[in-house]
Amino acid sequence: MNDLLVVKNLYVNFLVEDVSVKAVNGVSISIKEGETLCLIGESGSGKSVLGLSILRLLPENTEISGEIIFNGKNLLSLPEKEMRKIRGKEIAWVPQSPSTSLNPVLKVGYQVAEPMMLHLNLSKKDAYERTVELLDYFGIHPARRRAGEYPHQYSGGMRQRALVAMGTSTKPKLIIADEPTKGIDVIKKVRVVKLFEKIKKDNNKLSLLLITHDIPFAKKLADRVAVMYCGQVVEISKAETFFEEPLHPYSKSLLNSLPSKGLKPIKGHPPSMINPPKGCKFHPRCEFATDKCLKEPPFFECNGNLVRCYLYD
């Protein structure tokens, strides 16, 4: 399959007063048509910023460089007017917090219908009929009545599904979902997994970028995994091998910190994004660090996976 999205050498700095926060530090990743890439890592590692950069939804005080090629176009050099056509139509963003992402004073049906009127030129009536079908598809029942309700009349899980309905309504090529399982219980998590499986099954060309620190969730859905640490991608591996044999020492600690692996905490402190460590950003916490690690490691290939660590030189 072809690459749908290619991010090349992306740097994102936030300027806050006179300091610069290095949120993304030279990231290159790609997503193929039909692929699910899970971006994992602790909070504050730059995952959401990377997602928001792809949609160009970052605040004003941001310096951004590199390339983001989507479907052959560099999104970073598109005029805002062109970008608006891509955002919401070709790339959908499913935000982190379902309770604050829906407008409380508008009926859910209207909110789901709006992108279809805007991007697919559907009439109000047709968009509304399509909305009822979508709500039904995503298990919001009875759909016609639910379409006429306000967000506060929905449960948390229903709001989450309404956001996914809104995101998928325009049949985007790429959906970026930020922490879709954050703050929900295990039963609802199973529903979210099923929902993404269903969307993928019904549209095998759709690509997904799932940003999550929920590793069991990533394991259920990923084709490939990219691990972020301190604004960098430190490993990109196929899901078949990653969850059994992660390569990077940070990936290993991340998997070992799961309850099923005995909850071993990752030693040391998360790195500063203002003055990140020199060389390998993980070296202050890495039990294998040597002097060599004070120089930034490049990516090394290991059985078709990529890892930024000298142990694989």
Answer for the pair 242, 70: CB distance below 8 angstroms, yes or no: no
Residue 48 touches which of Mg ion, ligand SF4, none (CB < 5 to 8 A by kind)?
Mg ion
H or E element at residue 15:
strand 3-16
Three-state DSSP class for 134? helix
Nearer to ligand SF4, 220 or 248 (CB): 248
CB 46 within 8 A of CB 25: yes
Cβ nearer to ligand SF4, comparing 20 with 28: 28
Shortest separation between residue 14's beta carbon and Mg ion, angstroms: 14
Locus of tokens 């998997």: 255
Residue numbers 264-283 binding ligand SF4 by CB under 6 A: 280, 282-283
With CB cut-offs between 5 and 8 Å by kind, which of Mg ion, ligand SF4, none does residue 231 bind?
none
Helices 156-168 and 108-119 cross at an angle (nearest 10°) of: 10
Query: What is the smallest separation between the CB atom of 39 and Mg ion, expressed in angstroms?
Result: 10
Strand partners for 177: 94, 210
Q: Is 231 in the site for ligand SF4 (CB under 6 A)?
A: no
- What lies within 8 Å, CB to CB, of 256 at 6+ separation is 262, 264
> Is 229 a residue that touches ligand SF4 (CB under 6 A)?
no
> Does 167 participate in binding ligand SF4 (rule CB under 6 A)?
no
Any contact of residue 286 with ligand SF4 (CB under 6 A)?
A: yes
Site map 40..79 versus Mg ion, x via CB under 5 A: --------x-------------------------------
Q: Which does 297 bind (CB under 5 to 8 A by kind): ligand SF4, Mg ion, none?
A: ligand SF4
Residues 189, 177: Cα–Cα separation, whole Å: 14
Task: Write the Ramachandran bin of 136: left for phi over 0, alpha for psi from -120 to 50, otherwise beta.
Answer: alpha
Residue 97 has what DSSP assignment? Answer: -
Binding site for ligand SF4 (CB under 6 A): 249, 280, 282-283, 286, 288-289, 293, 297, 309-311
